[in-house]
Amino acid sequence: MTSGGNVSEQQDHVPGAVVRITEIVGSSPNSFSDAVRNAVRAAAETVRGIRGVEVVSSNADVDENGNLSLYKVNCKIAFVVERSKT
């Protein structure tokens, strides 16, 4: 995972590659970090070659007692577009 910078910069780390950026949303009852991990883990089930993640925004639900009850993150993931070998 990328902790700094912009996911669009990930193309610099894969010479000659085409990188696609997709927006995803993750959540967790535990923390913002877990919400990011859950989002990337779920995306990795169907997307190969994930190179980085950028957290665009974060917010949380608050329960009736004033406690944070659900952490949510809006993320962009960058992954290498696979090309046919012709």
Distances (CA, A) of 31 to 9, 37, 43, 59: 27, 10, 19, 11
Each residue's pLDDT tens digit, 61-73: 999 999 999 999 9
pLDDT band at 3 (very low <50, low <70, confident <90, very high): very low
Provide φ and ψ at 36, rounded to 5°: -65, -45
Provide φ and ψ at 63, rounded to 5°: -80, 180
What is the DSSP pairing of strand 68-80 with strand 19-28? antiparallel
The whole-angstrom distance between residue 11's C-alpha and the CA centroid of its chain comes to: 16
- The residues spanned by each domain of the chain are 7-80
Each residue's pLDDT tens digit, 9-53: 544 466 677 889 999 999 999 999 999 999 999 999 999 989 999
Determine whether domain 7-80 maps to CATH 3.40.50.300.
no
Instruction: State the pLDDT at residue 83.
Output: 76
pTM of the model: 0.78
